[in-house]
Amino acid sequence: MNALLFNRWFQLTVGVVAMVATANLQYGWTLFVDPIAQAHGWKKDAIQWAFTLFVISQTWLAPLLAYLRDKLGPQGVIAVGGLMVGGSWVLNSSADSLTMLYVGGVVAGIGGGIVYTTAMGNALKLFPDRRGLAAGITSMAFGGGAALSVMPIYDMIKASGYQRTFFVWGLIQGGVILLCSVIMRRPSVIVTRMALEVKDTAAAEKLASAPDTTPAQMLRTPLFYVLYAMFTMVATGGLMAVAQLGPIAKDYKIADSPVTILGLFTVVALPFTLQINQILNGLTRPFFGWMSDKIGRELTMFIAFTAEGFAIFALIYFAHNPVSFVLFSALAFFAWGEIYSIFPAISGDLFGAKFATTNYAFLYTAKGTASLLIPLGSWLKDTYGSWKPIFYTAVAFDWIAAILALAALKPMCAAYKAKMRAQQPAVSPRPPALAESTLAQGVLPRVRE
């Protein structure tokens, strides 16, 4: 049991389970909107403010929540997150006013933010040699985790009402996260154990993390702001295009058009597009994360961002064809979701493991910045009376970010890593015998995250 608890793949799985338990806060919310409106007579746009508050709380408070995780360790912090995740839905189950519903949204956002930053931070710390894959698997759990429970929640709402569903699933989700908090271990201890066991110099170098950079130091580097600008551009372009898929399909009169897949079965264009897009949006994260581990973060960014730009460009010109609409929107989603695996990975590569959770949390606020720019899409449509300006803007953002990845980011990363290595004091290699004797005695050096 002790060996299992200190196995990094097992610990990654624990983080994934915790992420799955928070996924319904975002992806299951839509199932409750209509029942709440019918029960209380509240307007749907007023109800949706609870979801807006959830997103704002989860995104903009992420640096503070991540700092607490880096300062206090994962177990106690994620336990508080579990209590808040479960408590938010229990609160929603008895909410008899919009104010209470909004409070539930804020509590859910804080709790979900704690779980997200802790699980992602653990992945970055546990896998300094495979950060892209680990971050991709973890983010996929949040993006696709709700698929496991959407139908049970839907059925319970129909059978027992939304209040009971909120209450029961709040207890389930909170309980799962609390169990995960008991099982979690500090990543630094696990990586230290692995480093002591490694006798191959090349393998040991892969486990060695970059020099640790504090959040304050990171925020003073131009490199962070290049990353932030790229993250914001790609997130904004993708969100603007993706948010308009439904209206575009209706304007082109293909939303209800039949699409035959490989001559085997026929589906309706828009619902099928939305379903396949969610699947690909989840699968892309570990795929591109794994690719970035193999060929480098910057080259992977260039490939993904370029592909997304071409997909969006083609989408607007071939959207009148149902099959093309499905294919190109699917490609756009597949090339877009990777930002949630590559950016945390490159953040850990550059700024080290000790403050990896907090450092990525600052970068993650780019998602919040991008969400504030989404109304730009509606303004372009109203001003020019066409969808093309929206898509041209999205394509421009993608291709500018792709060029920056190789022309600016890659040389800046190389220069920054060389500078940080030069500042590190020389350390004599530890003899293999020391590793064996230390492990035999069950003694580990004092480590801090």
Q: What is the pLDDT of residues 94-128, one digit of tens each?
A: 999 999 999 999 999 999 999 999 999 889 888 88
For the ranges 181-185, 206-210, 352-356, 405-409, the one whose mean pLDDT is highest: 405-409
Q: Which of 95-99, 318-322, 339-343 has the lowest mean pLDDT?
A: 318-322
Amino acid identity of 126? L
Summarised one tens digit per residue, pLDDT across range 194-226 is 554 554 455 445 555 567 889 999 999 999 999
Is-contact 115 75, C-beta < 8 A? no
| Fold type of domain 2-185 | Growth Hormone; Chain: A; (1.20.1250)
Q: Identify the top-confidence range among 40-49, 234-243, 419-428.
A: 40-49
Q: How long is the chain?
A: 449
Task: Note the pTM of the prediction, 2 decimals.
Answer: 0.78
Distance CA 27, CA 148 (A): 11
Express each pLDDT in 402-435 by its tens digit: 999 999 999 999 999 998 888 766 544 444 443 4
The hierarchical CATH code for the domain 212-423 is 1.20.1250.20
* Residue 435: per-residue pLDDT: 41
User: So what's the pLDDT on residue 209?
Assistant: 57
151/57: higher pLDDT: 57
Tokens for 330, please give them: 């699917």
Q: Could you tell me the CA-to-CA distances from 195 to 188, 268, 294 in Å, in that order?
A: 10, 53, 21
Q: Is the pLDDT of residue 445 over 70?
A: no
As a whole number, mean pLDDT of residues 316-324 equals 83
What is the reported pLDDT for 429?
46
C-alpha span between 95 and 102 (Å, rounded): 9
Residue 275 has phi, psi (to 5 degrees) of: -70, -50
**Residue range(s) in the chain whose domain bears CATH number 1.20.1250.20:** 2-185, 212-423
Long-range contacts of residues 202-208, Cβ cutoff 8 Å, at least 24 apart: 206/128, 206/129, 207/128, 207/129, 208/128
pLDDT, average across residues 254-271: 74
Report how far Cα 125 is from the mean position of its chain's Cα atoms.
Answer: 16
Q: In the prediction, which pLDDT does 439 show?
A: 37
| Residue 193 pLDDT exceeds 60 | no
State pLDDT tens for residues 269-280. 776 776 777 788
By the 8 A CB rule, do 171 and 165 touch? no
pLDDT at 368: 80
Residue 130 near residue 293 (C-beta atoms within 8 A): yes
